A and B are shown apart, each in its own frame.
Chain A
């Protein structure tokens, strides 16, 4: 379980705990989180009380990054120390405990939407990593009961491609992975709650393949990657990896190496033009040895 504590930011609010199923784990919050409404846990889910951690400023290693929060890209600072990892951006801050079991946030009331995105974005991704599930920058679709994921930096076209292929979508921007399986029930913060692609999917689906998006090309082409380059691609496209301490980096590297050995990782090149969807779909189906018209 991961417990999210936001009431310190709104001490006058009455406690209203909720439970959700996210990336294979129960995530509890002491306030309703509309972005997580599609992932509400069954009413029988346990809401065991967790001591409220103190939100504190870490004094250790400092890292800088960017994240899409509350409508735009913002700089995020992370500080790691014995008490956990402190994340802050534009007046909102939260702490992820060293074991990834709690996230505590603090901000002024008017900054709550930004705080919630900070918590459900980089903080939740870090907490999941500490719990053994790593989040990849990936769009994804479901093909024959398995996940096909597209890895790419922001703006590479992974969301657009997932929409063009005609297969059911599983992720828009972030896909948690644990072992050789994906956990698509995860909030895609760039989409409205009613448009969450993972909400109606099983908690875990096997992975069919990863396709790393190459720069625009004149023709559609799929080529395999070496195990080394496959692992490096998975490492490169992991969310919040800058926040990992050396121990977690070591576990992450081993995870990516094992994943690259178990799941095919390819490079996919295609022209960014109208009508390319069916050609890419045909190429992926052929690569996977599947009928092109498999729903």
Chain B
């Protein structure tokens, strides 16, 4: 999926079965099916936590703006790039619009 396919209304969620462990504000992710490990920095770890709560990318963006010093455009660009990589490596999946109510 191209970065342009991600919009603030997009909701992604942790793909079931993906393991993760936080260490001093950073995160190690594991896809047990692929046997691959990934590391997230502090900002990525915070985004991962917010995604796990069912927030839209727009809500995640708003939260990150209050916690990290960067322009809104830069934060969105970094968030979209992170979401794209997480989708690419099948660590997250996009929630179909009809499933939104299941997250409340």
Cross-chain contact A246 with B32 (CB below 8 angstroms): yes
Q: Out of A63, A229, A230, A231, which one reaches B21, CB within 8 Å? A: A231
Indicate whether A141 reaches chain B with its CB closer than 8 angstroms: no
Q: Which of B22-30, B53-61, B67-75, B80-88 makes up part of the contact surface?
A: B22-30
Residue on B nearest A252 in the bound complex, by CB: B30
B47 to chain A minimum Cβ distance, whole angstroms, is: 15
Asked if A232 meets B32 with Cβ closer than 8 Å, knowing A250-B19, A260-B23, the reply is no
**21 A-B contacts (beta carbon < 8 Å):** A63-B35, A226-B24, A226-B26, A228-B27, A228-B39, A228-B41, A230-B23, A231-B23, A231-B28, A232-B37, A232-B39, A236-B37, A241-B35, A242-B35, A246-B32, A249-B30, A249-B35, A250-B30, A257-B28, A261-B23, A261-B24
Interface residues of A in 216-244 (CB under 8 A from B): 226-232, 235-236, 241-242
Indicate whether B5 reaches chain A with its CB closer than 8 angstroms: no
Indicate whether B96 reaches chain A with its CB closer than 8 angstroms: no
Contacts of B19 in A (CB 8 A): 246, 249-250, 253
Binding site for A on B (CB under 8 A): 17, 19, 21, 23-24, 26-28, 30, 32-33, 35, 37, 39-41
Indicate whether A145 reaches chain B with its CB closer than 8 angstroms: no
A257–B39 Cα distance when bound, in Å, is 12
The number of A-B residue pairs with CB atoms under 8 Å apart is 53
A85 to chain B minimum Cβ distance, whole angstroms, is: 14
Cross-chain contact A253 with B35 (CB below 8 angstroms): no
Residue on B nearest A254 in the bound complex, by CB: B21
Residue on A nearest B22 in the bound complex, by CB: A257
Contacts of A230 in B (CB 8 A): 23
Cross-chain contact A253 with B30 (CB below 8 angstroms): yes
11 more A-B contacts (CB under 8 A) besides A226-B26, A253-B30? A226-B23, A227-B24, A228-B23, A228-B24, A228-B26, A245-B32, A246-B17, A249-B35, A254-B21, A257-B23, A260-B23
Contacts of A231 in B (CB 8 A): 21, 23, 28
Contacts of A227 in B (CB 8 A): 23-24, 26
B25 to chain A minimum Cβ distance, whole angstroms, is: 9
A232–B36 Cα distance when bound, in Å, is 11
Asked if A235 meets B26 with Cβ closer than 8 Å, knowing A246-B32, A249-B32, the reply is no
A230–B21 Cα distance when bound, in Å, is 13
A200 to chain B minimum Cβ distance, whole angstroms, is: 36
Contacts of B41 in A (CB 8 A): 228
